[in-house]
Amino acid sequence: MFPAITPGASSQSVVIHIMDSATGLPEQAVEHNTDGISLWYWRPGSTITAITPAALATLDAAYSSGGIEHIDDGDYRLDIPDAAIAAGVPWVAVGGTLTDMIVVGIIIPLNLASVSDVNAQVADVLKTDTLGEPAQGAPPATASIEAKIAWLYKFLRNKVTEDGTTTKVYNDAGDTVDHKSTVSEAAGTVTRGEFVTGP
C-alpha cells in the first residue's frame, strides 16, 4: 500500500513496479509509448479511468500528468492525474497493462484528515469543548487524562476547607462536601490521606 495522500492534493507522483510476465524480472526500459502500455486509476463507486501516458525527460522533471520514468530495478515514477486523488473516496487504485509485462498495481489511501483539519479539531477540543466537574466520590486510581484534568481543576477552583483533621473539597455551589481526606501530624510531619467520597 502506498503512503497516504491528502485528498485534493495536486501534482502527485507514485511508484509502480513493472516486471516481465514470463521471468518475473524487473523491466527497466518502459517508456510512455512502449508497445501495449495502458495505465488507469479506479476510485470506489466509479468506473476505471484511463491515464494517458506522457514522456518525462528525466526522473526529476517537473510533474506532468501521466508522466512515467524508470527509477531503478523495475520501479517507475508515475505522475497521476489530479482527478484521481480528488476528495470524496477513502482510497484510489492505480494499475495497468503492458504487452508481455505485468504492472503491479497499488492502492493509495486518501488521508481524509489533513494536517490543518487535525489542528482545527485539536484546537476545538482545547479551546471550545467543555467538561463538567467530577461528581461526588473518591478520585479513581486509574482515570483518563480528561478526567484527571477535571479533578485537578475542581480541586483548584472549588471551595476547600481544612480544620486540622480533615480536608474537604466542596461542590460548585459550595454547600456539599464532595471529597474529603484525613489530616494528621506526628513528630512534626503532617500527613494527608487519600481523598474519599464526601460528605
Residue 47 identity: T
pLDDT of residue 116: 80
Q: DSSP string of 12-41?
A: EEEEEEEEETTT-PBP----TT-TT-EEEE
Residue 158 per-residue DSSP state? S
pLDDT in tens, 79-129: 999 999 999 999 999 999 999 999 999 999 998 666 788 899 899 988 999
7 grid coordinates: 485528498
Residue 140 lies in a domain: yes
- Could you tell me if 84 and 143 lie in one domain? no
Full residue range of the structural domain in which residue 184 is found: 133-197
What pLDDT shows up at residue 117?
Answer: 80
Task: Say what the pLDDT of residue 111 is.
Answer: 80
Interval 168-188: pLDDT, tens: 999 999 999 999 999 999 999
160 occurs within a structural domain: yes
Tell me, yes or no, whether 169 and 92 share the same domain.
no
Which grid cell is 89?
Answer: 473516496
Residue 137 and residue 105 share a domain: no
Distance between CA atoms of residues 199 and 194, nearest Å? 15
Question: Does residue 1 surpass a pLDDT of 70?
Answer: no
Scan for cell 524480472, then name that residue. Answer: 25
Tens digits of residue pLDDT in 2-36: 888 989 999 999 999 999 999 999 999 999 999 99
Q: Please list the alpha-helical segments (H only) found in 59-130.
A: 115-127
Pair 91, 153 in one domain: no
Set of cell numbers at residue 79: 505522475
* In a shared domain, residues 101 and 141: no
Alpha-carbon gap, residue 177 to 94, rounded angstroms:
64
Q: Is the pLDDT at 144 greater than 70, yes or no? A: yes
- Among 36, 33, 21, CA closest to 68: 33
Same domain, 186 and 143: yes
Number of domains in the chain: 2
Extended beta strands in the chain, E state: 12-20, 38-42, 49-51, 54-55, 67-72, 75-80, 91-98, 101-104, 106-109, 160-162, 166-170, 177-186, 189-192, 196-197
